[in-house]
Chain A
């Protein structure tokens, strides 16, 4: 087996069947866990399943290939930080800074997320089934065809899309009692990118304006909602029937008259 050549001693908590590795992360320190993931990656392993995850950080960081990882439990902060290509599915909730400065790859969460989802994201996709916390998508960026996307199924808290410079951020507000997102300062400092919000937003940042969606928008939105629903077994058509608001920056240079030269 290729892997055996690389790892001299297969740890007790690791089982490898064909090209799938299964890890029991009980009591495993994050450094050891991630080191194990790195050595499995790019060595003929296509899928890794990790169970009993309780707070190990940085899972998915520095993995080269397009390996698929299933996480069972609650991964720690910075899941997929600086990630470059892996595909992670979390069967549980994630904590803070999920997808921090992610470059490309994918994260699908069957649960909720903490603060700072997709902070400074540069590419790739993140799907959160339920609610997310503060500062989701803060300073997302894009360049030419490299465009990150985040889809939140529930609602998000304050400073959603703060200082957004690019990318697409979708908030669906499924299961909200009133059809209003209570987040405040949504899009504060926005100077690039687009947000599609299903339902009304109570309080917007100064740099944001609300418009209606055009055909191109619906195309983009539909593709993302379809993908979201495919992961969680939901009805995309029903969701797309609702009213969506498009949030864009008022200016690409919102602080132009702030300084005296």
Chain B
């Protein structure tokens, strides 16, 4: 959008403040299931939101196009679609394109939604990796016309979000007809009134999605640090900064989540002092080097990308997170009751420690819980 800041934040606040509910559900064997249970769960936490935003990320939903990039784009007018279509056909081979199926629901002013299954055209330079190519094109679409916005661009996954309660957004997008092996959901309670759909969670970059509950008080410096590495923070949301941090640390710098969580939610100096010398040295170096990425303030996030779902809270656990397992399923939720609604019997229920991630991985049989 030409000026995303204005659309997302009509009052010129330094950023959007919101509080929310989040939920994640993953089948560790990769078996796909419908949106019915995730929607029920997030709807159960209705009072944590105020109807001004809801969204879902789903993985494994386009098996027939599993190697193609699924661009889901919203348009505020037809002109924007024409321009974007041109850009897409110049840069990509389009295997399929269609208007996204929707139905009547209690959502506000929905834009036009299209999806495309794409492969980068061979004309791209050999040196540029496919991921960077996609990123560059997405940035272009998002800034060129001012009325088009790519809200997901990963393979075999999609983000569905908008202005309404999450259960209404789910209804609008006919989500119950999709099947994925991993779903993350979000219900929003923003304190200023976004009229536009791009501002809801999840936030997406490549196949990474972030849903987030809480507020990051270190946002001002997290943003400036990321800008040094070429990210442009245009959405003025904490979630955007979270997503870029994951992209920088996990995709570009190839650090595993166990280390990334120690950058975003590092242990206290008093704890580091009690560790073994080689760990102490490493953790001290992490804080010295990445101090500007320490995410301060209350938060619970669920980050997903292909094959992995990660739940993480801030280092002094100011926001809730309950994790649970039943058979092959891993659940993450702001409230336990939402999990119980969907699965009354559970094999294990626990609250992870602040700063310690809970990780669901496709190849593992149980959830991985990282304890320092």
Question: A residues bordering B, Cβ < 8 Å?
Answer: 30, 53-55, 57, 73-77, 92-93, 95-96, 112, 114-115, 131, 133-134, 157-159, 184
Contacts and interface: CB of A to CB of B under 8 A. Distances in A.
B250 interface: no
25 contacts: A30-B47, A53-B337, A54-B44, A54-B340, A54-B341, A55-B45, A55-B335, A55-B341, A57-B47, A73-B337, A73-B340, A74-B337, A74-B340, A76-B337, A95-B320, A96-B320, A114-B351, A115-B317, A115-B351, A133-B317, A134-B354, A157-B317, A157-B351, A157-B353, A158-B316
Which of A55, A77, A158, A184 is packed against the most chain B CB atoms within 10 Å?
Answer: A55
Contacts of B335: 55, 76-77, 95
Contacts of A114: 320, 322, 336, 351
Contacts of B47: 30, 57
A76 B45 CA distance: 10
A235 to B, nearest CB: 25
A95 B351 contact: no
B170 interface: no
A-B pairs, 8 with minimum CB distance: A55-B337, A74-B337, A54-B341, A74-B340, A54-B337, A134-B317, A133-B351, A74-B336
Interface string B308-327: 00000000110010100000
B112 interface: no
Given A53-B337, A157-B317, A158-B316, 7 more contacts: A74-B336, A74-B337, A77-B335, A115-B317, A115-B351, A134-B317, A159-B316
Interface in B146-186: none
A54 to B, nearest CB: 4
Given A54-B44, A54-B341, A158-B354, A95 B317 contact: no
B362 interface: no
Contacts of A95: 320, 322, 335-337
A30 B336 CA distance: 16
B370 interface: no
Interface in B316-372: 316-317, 320, 322, 335-338, 340-341, 349-351, 353-354
A77 B354 CA distance: 19
Contacts of B316: 158-159
Interface string B233-276: 00000000000000000000000000000000000000100000
Nearest to A182: B353
Contacts of B337: 53-55, 73-76, 95
Contacts of A157: 317, 351, 353
Interface centre among A54, A76, A95 (most CB of B within 10 A): A54
Contacts of A134: 317, 351, 354
Contacts of A54: 44, 337-338, 340-341
A184 B21 CA distance: 27
Nearest to B267: A184
Contacts of A77: 335
Contact of B349 (A73, A75, A112, A115): A112
The majority secondary structure among interface residues of chain A is loop
Contacts of B350: 131
Contacts of B336: 74, 93, 95, 114
Of B44, B341, B349, B351, the most chain A CB neighbours within 10 A belong to B351
Contact of A55 (B44, B320, B354): B44
Interface string B70-102: 000000000000000000000000000000000
B354 A93 contact: no
Contacts of B354: 134, 158
A30 B48 CA distance: 13
A90 to B, nearest CB: 12
B76 to A, nearest CB: 36
B317 A184 contact: no
Nearest to B346: A93
Contacts of A76: 335, 337
Interface in B11-54: 44-45, 47
Contacts of B341: 54-55
A93 B344 CA distance: 11
A242 B337 CA distance: 35
A73 B354 CA distance: 26
A21 to B, nearest CB: 22
A129 B323 CA distance: 19
Nearest to A135: B317
A54 B340 CA distance: 7
A57 B349 CA distance: 20
B12 to A, nearest CB: 34
A76 B320 CA distance: 13
Given A112-B349, A134-B354, A184-B271, A55 B338 contact: yes
Contacts of A30: 47
Given A54-B44, A74-B337, A114-B351, A158 B317 contact: yes
Contacts of B45: 55
Interface in B283-331: 316-317, 320, 322
Contacts of B322: 95, 114
Contacts of B44: 54-55
A185 B341 CA distance: 34
Contacts of A57: 47
A194 B337 CA distance: 32
Nearest to A31: B47
A93 B349 contact: yes
A55 B340 CA distance: 9
Among A74, A77, A95, A114, the most chain B Cβ lie within 10 Å of the Cβ of A74
A183 to B, nearest CB: 10
A194 B271 CA distance: 26
B340 to A, nearest CB: 5
